[in-house]
Structure 1
Amino acid sequence: MESGRQRLIEAARALLAEHPDREPSTRELYEAAGVAAPTLYHHFGTKEGLLDAVAEDAFATYVERKNAVPDTGDLLADFTAGWDMHIEFGVQNPVLYRFMFGRTDGRRCEVAQKAETELRRRLARFADEGLLQISLDEAIAVTTGTAMGCVMQLVHDGGSATGPVAQTMRAALIAQLTEQPSQRDDPGRAAHLLQARLGSASELFTSAEEALLRQWLRTLAEYFDNSPANESTSRGRHE
């Protein structure tokens, strides 16, 4: 039999899925879980404490999926894939996303802090490679603000995480961070990006099929990266 704590978490997930445009009330939560109000307060302290736990669980699943995707070695392709996964999480979990990143009470939930730590790590690699054209702290603020704005706009308009609005905002962000224009027609980067995105579609392939596809993509990426037409671009990315 599920504990009261787990029943509350499951009820919160169900209510958030059923009504993605609003937070459930405290009463809705404990009634949906089939427990009394004191059970919620005992385990979580407040409704916000319960939503913190749900957000932690949802974001942990997202991070696990993201970390399962190996870096391709192309910093911009890996950053692009990370952006796409972040925006997709926000669009699919709008209430949790607002709770995690859009709070105005001065509190920051643990998962938001973890996300910033990971973003700092990735942008520090940009700086180490000479790609970052603004300070690290400014880059973190600009990236976070752009991502939050993108998610809120897509949720408002019913847009897609991989649609033209998200792609345009991503390209503008990368240009701001690196002063490099987006290169959507670069086949080498396309191969790198597809490698980085495979983790979000892993259920489509067996392990052997995914390994073979990754091998083909690495071969294509290396070929186009080293082709004369892309020699200067590749040198700029990796030097």
Structure 2
Amino acid sequence: MSSNPQRRDSTRDRIVEAAADLLRDHGPTAVTTRRVAQEAGLQPPALYRFFQGKDDLLDAVVEHVFAEHVAGKQATAPSQDPVEDLRDGWNTQIGFGLAHPHVYGLLLDPSRARDTPAMSTGVRILAERVHRVAAAGRLRVSEERAVNLIRAAGTGTIHTLLTLPPDQSDPHLADAAFDAVARVVFTDEPAVPTRDPAAIVAAFRTLLPELPGLSPAELTLLDEWLQR
């Protein structure tokens, strides 16, 4: 096999694509060294030049598929309504989980849990959208809690929808779950002090980096007070 880096990358991509197709169509058990090599037009030993074993290959496949999903979310331009942008992101995430159950199952496998680049980017995109909600004065909890609540609810919703028997499928469950989280996390309108002090605090925290005349230590202390 050529040592040319470009050709090597092309061969690795071909292996990952072949494994991704097998994972999508047949599940993790179908992703064997022999089967992947056959689909990629290689001899089985060639795979070990790129991956230590099946687990390493599956990790690469999950990262590849999820990275494509995250790239699509990054390309989405924000609208004038940050809450609706969050709802759109929620629907996109739910749709990804339902369309890629085997990939999503591996993403959530505790034995595989790790901070991959694609997952980190996905969380960052969510945090940025929550930050826009806070800046608009429509967040009634801290940004950190909002991100964690949305992630937890989304994970639970996808898992439930994937495990429900076909005759018990609920096409409105994802919308209802988002609405339930929204009632806890968001205000109906930009907050004013007499209506929702917590939203004012959340909005004020978004301005901390822009406050003049305070040292980094003072800003950190002020942020700690606001979180309390």
TM-score normalised per structure 1: 0.65
Distance 1:124 1:235, change over 3 A: closer
Distance 1:100 1:81, change over 3 A: same
2:45 corresponds to which of 38, 55, 69: 38
**Conservation of the 8 A alpha-carbon contact between 1:120 and 1:136:** yes
Secondary structure of the structure 2 residue equivalent to 1:43: coil
Quote the residue 1:89 is aligned against.
Answer: 96
Quote the residue 2:197 is aligned against.
Answer: none
The structural deviation recorded for 1:165 is 0.7
What amino acid sits opposite 1:26 in the alignment?
T
**Conservation of the 8 A alpha-carbon contact between 2:14 and 2:40:** yes
Quote the residue 2:153 is aligned against.
Answer: 146
- Identity %, equivalent residues: 27
- Range moving further from structure 2, 2-11 or 132-141: 2-11
1:43-99, Cα deviation, whole Å (9 max, x unpaired): 133323323332333233323333333211101111100100011011101111222
Quote the residue 1:14 is aligned against.
Answer: 21
2:173 corresponds to which of 158, 165, 170: 165
Whether 1:57 aligns to 2:64 is: yes
Q: Distance in 1 between matches of 2:64 and 2:112?
A: 22
2:124 corresponds to which of 113, 117, 126: 117
TM-score normalised per structure 2: 0.68
Point out 4+ residue stretches in structure 1 off by more than 6 angstroms. none
The structural deviation recorded for 1:34 is 4.1
Structure 2: any 5+ residue segments left out of the alignment? 1-6, 193-202, 204-228
1:152-194, Cα deviation, whole Å (9 max, x unpaired): 11111277x99211111111111121154xxxxxxxxxxxxxx
Secondary structure of the structure 2 residue equivalent to 1:104: helix
**Conservation of the 8 A alpha-carbon contact between 1:5 and 1:43:** yes
Corresponding residue pairs, total: 184
- Range moving further from structure 2, 38-47 or 169-178: 38-47
Structure 1: any 5+ residue segments left out of the alignment? 181-232
2:30 corresponds to which of 24, 40, 43: 24
Q: What does 1:82-231 correspond to in 2, within 5 Å? A: 82-157=89-164, 163-180=171-188
Q: Distance in 1 between matches of 2:95 and 2:136?
A: 28
**Conservation of the 8 A alpha-carbon contact between 1:87 and 1:151:** yes
What amino acid sits opposite 1:178 in the alignment?
F
Larger radius of gyration: 2
CA RMSD in angstroms, aligned pairs only: 3.1
Q: Distance in 1 between matches of 2:109 and 2:182?
A: 23
**Conservation of the 8 A alpha-carbon contact between 2:137 and 2:191:** no
Q: Distance in 2 between matches of 1:134 and 1:102?
A: 29
Higher relative contact order (CA 8 A, sep 6+): 1
